Amino acid sequence: MSASPTYPVPEGFAEQAHIDAAAYEALYQRSIAEPEAFWAEQADAFLTWDTRWDKVREFDFHKGSARWFAGGKLNVAYNCIDRHLARRGDQVAIIWEGDEPTDDRSITYRELHDAVCRLANVLRERGVKKGDRVCIYMPMIPEAAYAMLACARIGAVHSVVFGGFSPEALKDRILDCDCQVLITADEGVRGGKTIPLKHNADRALAACPDLHTCVVVKRTGGAVEWQEGRDVWYGEAVAAAAADCAPESMDAEDPLFILYTSGSTGKPKGVLHTTGGYLLQTAMTHKYVFDYHDGDIYWCTADVGWVTGHSYIVYGPLANGAITLMFEGVPTYPTASRCWDVVDKHGVQIFYTAPTAIRALMGAGDEPVTGTSRQSLKLLGTVGEPINPEAWEWYYRVVGDSRCPIVDTWWQTETGGHMLTPLPGATALKPGSATLPFFGVEPVLLDADGAEIEGPGSGNLAIKASWPSQIRTVYGDHQRLVDTYFSAFPGYYFTGDGARRDEDGYYWITGRVDDVLNVSGHRMGTAEVESALVLHEKVAEAAVVGYPHDIKGQGIYCYVTLMSGETPSDELKQELVGMCVREIGPIAKPDIIQWAPGLPKTRSGKIMRRILRKVAANELENLGDTSTLADPSVVDQLIDSRANR
Ligand code: 6R9
């Protein structure tokens, strides 16, 4: 592995970059040695405060507590919009590219201000106050960003639910944090197909009696059902609302949003982020990691339903007064050239996407790429899962014409912003490595006993001290935060990822070490899929593992044991697939279902997933120790029953 190629910072890049190698070294050292002074300077440089803070940071990793800029006051929407108006009111804030290539529009900062104020007033009129939760279930249209910013403006806490989630998943998330208002659209459009968002919402809301207002954006004009009193057309409501709305001055530690994410156990957790530290880290990383310069056109292909969309489509870029491109469609519609057509059409400089998209496009060959110009591009980025070196090389050579650095950014919903990442003017790149820590981030590798590994080696990736955009709590269940992140290795934040550190101190993420799958960059707990499967009356037991998948990174492999007397059939398989899609959403569609007469269990009844993973990956030579199994013959049965999949 030490022989992996290194790509130096391209000639000329460092000179124009915000941060070169010397600056990275000096600033990183300072950020660790004098964190309070360092972060105070950054908070002054990046944000506009109503009231200065009293204390920069306080944290206790034994209790899982962290507070940044306590006593400071600011408003996120003011920072993302109002303060830019004097200088760039007429500059574009959001370029929207619709699903069809003929469909686009541009929204200036002044127009953004107008739209956000009006929607904020609509929410206020419907009784939404500071601290109230608002659910957002939207396609990728500018109104999704307006909705987030309108909440931020009045101090409401948004909970964005990915538009691909099922009514069942939406209902759970609305109930968990007691949302009283939902903002949605009639239908979404992706890859030429419509998604019945309002219909899904109606089904979810049937079980949410406390939700009193559903604001509906007209995206397609498709037929929808209507509940008088509860449902409100967005267009009519904002037209009638005032275009001015005073921003609520929020405490730096007031909640900004909740975003649900999967863990290894139980239902998804509501990750809570607060105001000051979150905005600082997303703004700062957006500027330095993407080397963003005024006027650059920046495109992150994520969905606002995920943290990447929150931090790097909406909050980070807008805090910096950037031009952020929002894309409604998919990379392969109408053709595999779509991304590069969009790059050429809008003159995109910075392009940020996920390895799964890169692999899918790579599978379509070079031609759809080389037929386009891409001369505007200067930087590429990736996020969501480890990128295999072949995909990295292809991205670098074919998409970036061997000109553009690639920033491989490692971070999590819980970290809020980038944690391990190259800075393009400072860091030599190694394909597949997320390289080095961002300012203020202190990564460590821990062995199984929790001891820090020095120098090159592999272990559990943990973080030693708080960073500004750290998760503050799991909504409604602080103990779950402590149990999940701060208990395995007392005194550290445990990421759930494994990593290797090489002789240059570079980090290589090896993937999750817990029961969390990463399917096309989407996190999913194996427990969630198992719960969906066992809802079927014919299923006795189910165990789900990930297995290597060429495009998705990981595929979903389900072992299913039927109730005695039940017979396996393809029809039943289809019912089980349908069950997962209905309970969670299309992203949870199993790739393989294997009928298993029994599951490998220890004598205490714990399923040995290690063995299931090996069988799923076809690594049969090396199953490891099976002597602790209650019934070792189960393994042979499993191997034999692979034919039944
Ligand atoms: C931002 C985001 C987090 C998990 C994380 C890790 C994986 C993300 C990565 C990466 C290797 C990268 N991950 N970025 N693995 N290299 N550059 O994806 O958040 O959805 O919470 O997922 O994704 O396993 O723990 P989230």
Please name the residue whose Cα sits nearest to atom 12 of ligand 1. 410
In a domain, 460, yes or no: no
Pairing of strands 443-446, 457-463: antiparallel
First-to-last alpha carbon distance for the chain, in angstroms, is: 36
- Domain membership flag for residue 189: yes
303 Cβ inside 6 Å of ligand 1: no
Task: Judge whether 510 lies within some domain.
Answer: no
Tens-place pLDDT, residues 511-550: 899 989 999 999 999 989 999 999 999 999 999 999 999 9
What residue owns the CA closest to ligand 1's atom 8? 384
Ligand 1 pocket test: which of 410, 419, 520, 587 has the largest number of ligand atoms within 8 Å of its C-beta?
A: 410
Q: How much is the pTM?
A: 0.94
Judge if the beta carbon of residue 260 lies within 6 A of ligand 1: no
Pairing state between β 157-160 and 213-217: unpaired
Collect all residues with Cβ–Cβ distance below 8 Å to 234 and sequence separation of at least 6.
Answer: 119, 122, 143, 183, 215, 216, 217, 218
- Based on the structure, what is the number of domains in the chain? 2
Summarize the confidence of residues 42-68 as an average pLDDT: 98
Averaged pLDDT, 163-192: 97
Q: How far is CA 294 from CA 18, 78, 298, 590, in A?
A: 12, 19, 11, 44
Ligand 1 close to Cβ of residue 409 (< 6 A): yes
Mean pLDDT, to the nearest integer, of 86-115?
98
Is the CB of 152 within 6 Å of ligand 1? no
Does residue 305 have its Cβ closer than 6 Å to ligand 1? no
Q: Give the end of a domain, one of 391, 420, 447.
A: 447
Cβ neighbours for 21, distance < 8 A, ≥ 6 positions apart: 9, 14, 425, 426, 427
Closest C-alpha to 274, from 294, 289, 290, 253: 253
Say if residue 419 is in the same domain as residue 540.
no
* Residue 411 Cα to ligand 1 middle (Å): 5
Contacts of 97 (CB under 8 A, 6+ apart): 103, 104, 325, 326, 327, 328, 329, 342, 345, 346
CATH of the domain at 550: 3.30.300.30
Name the residue with the closest Cα to ligand 1, atom 26. Answer: 412
Same domain, 529 and 442: no
> Does ligand 1 lie within 6 Å of residue 383's CB atom?
yes
Residue 240, judged by CB atoms within 10 A of its CB (0-12, 13-18, 19+), counts as: exposed
For the CA of 522, the nearest atom of ligand 1: 20
Same domain, 548 and 436: no
**Ligand 1 lined by 469 (C-beta under 6 Å):** no
Q: Does ligand 1 lie within 6 Å of residue 496's CB atom?
A: yes
* pLDDT confidence of residue 56: 98
Q: Which two tokens stand for residue 233?
A: 């057309």
Q: Does one domain contain both 91 and 179?
A: yes
Same domain? 245 vs 382: yes
Enumerate the known binding-site residues for ATP: 384-386, 408-413, 497, 512, 523
Distance 407 CA to ligand 1 centre (A): 14
Among protein residues, the one with the nearest Cα to ligand 1's atom 19 is: 412
Q: How confident is the model at residue 587 (pLDDT cuts 50, 70, 90)?
A: very high
Do 430 and 528 have their domain in common? no
Is there an atom of ligand 1 within 6 Å of 213 CB? Answer: no
Average pLDDT, the chain: 96
Answer yes or no: is pLDDT of 2 > 60: no
Neighbours of 592 (CB within 10 A): 15
- 233-285 pLDDT, tens digit per residue, is 999 999 999 999 999 999 999 999 999 998 877 789 999 999 999 999 999 99
282 is written with which tokens? 């997303």
Of 313, 359, 412, 552, the residue with max ligand 1 atoms within 8 A of its CB, to mutate for a pocket test, comes to 412
| Residues 425 and 571 reside in one and the same domain | no
| Residue 440 CA, ligand 1 centroid: distance in Å | 19
Same domain as 580, residue 442 = no
| Total length of the chain | 645
Final residue belonging to a domain, choices 416, 447, 478? 447
Tens digit of each residue's pLDDT (9 = 90 or more) over 166-178:
999 999 999 999 9
Does 203 lie in the same domain as 330?
Answer: yes
Q: Is the pLDDT of residue 625 over 90?
A: no
What are the start-end ranges of the E strands in 504-645? 507-512, 516-519, 522-525, 539-549, 553-562, 592-595
- Taking CA atoms only, the protein residue closest to ligand 1 atom 22 is 412
**In this structure, which residue's CA is closest to atom 7 in ligand 1?**
385
ipTM, two decimals? 1.00
Give the pLDDT confidence score for residue 1 in this predicted structure. 46
Atom of ligand 1 at shortest range from CA of 523: 20
| 437 and 540 inside one domain | no
Residue 292, domain CATH: 3.40.50.12780
419 and 537 fall within a common domain:
no
Q: Is residue 5 part of a domain?
A: no
Distance CA 53, CA 40 (A): 9
For ligand 1, mutation pick of 282, 286, 497 (most atoms within 8 Å of CB): 497
* Same domain flag for 237 and 156: yes
Residue 117 within any structural domain of the chain: yes
Q: Domain for residue 261, yes or no?
A: yes
Selection from 184-193, 261-270, 626-635 with the highest mean pLDDT: 184-193
- The CB of 412 under 6 Å from ligand 1? The reply is yes
Residue in 547, 300, 262, 554 with CA at minimum distance from that of residue 409: 300
Q: Is the CB of 24 under 6 A from ligand 1?
A: no
* Confidence band, pLDDT 50/70/90 cuts, at residue 631: confident
Domain-located, residue 491: no
> Of the candidates 421, 447, 473, which is a domain's last residue?
447
Query: Residue 142 — very low, low, confident or very high, per pLDDT cuts 50/70/90?
Result: very high
Looking at per-residue pLDDT, the higher value among 2 and 171 belongs to 171
Q: State the helix-helix crossing angle for 526-534 and 570-583, rounded to 10 degrees.
A: 120
553 three-class SS = strand
Nearest residue CA, atom 18 of ligand 1?
384
Average pLDDT over residues 619-629: 83
435 pLDDT above the threshold of 70: yes
Backbone phi, psi, residue 508, to 5°: -125, 110
Check pocket membership of 509 for ligand 1, CB cut-off 6 A: yes
Q: What share of the chain is helix, strand, coil (3-state, %, to 5)?
A: 35, 25, 40
In a domain, 600, yes or no: yes
DSSP state of 248: P
Q: What CA–CA distance (Å, rounded) separates 64 from 430?
A: 34
Q: Which atom of ligand 1 is nearest to the CA of 434?
A: 17
Ligand 1 binding pocket includes 250 (Cβ within 6 Å) = no
Range of the domain at 34: 11-56+75-447
- Residue 3, pLDDT score: 65
Q: For 370-420, what is each residue's pLDDT tens digit?
A: 999 999 999 999 999 999 999 999 999 999 999 999 999 999 999 999 999
Q: Write the pLDDT tens digit of every residue in 326-365.
A: 999 999 999 999 999 999 999 999 999 999 999 999 999 9
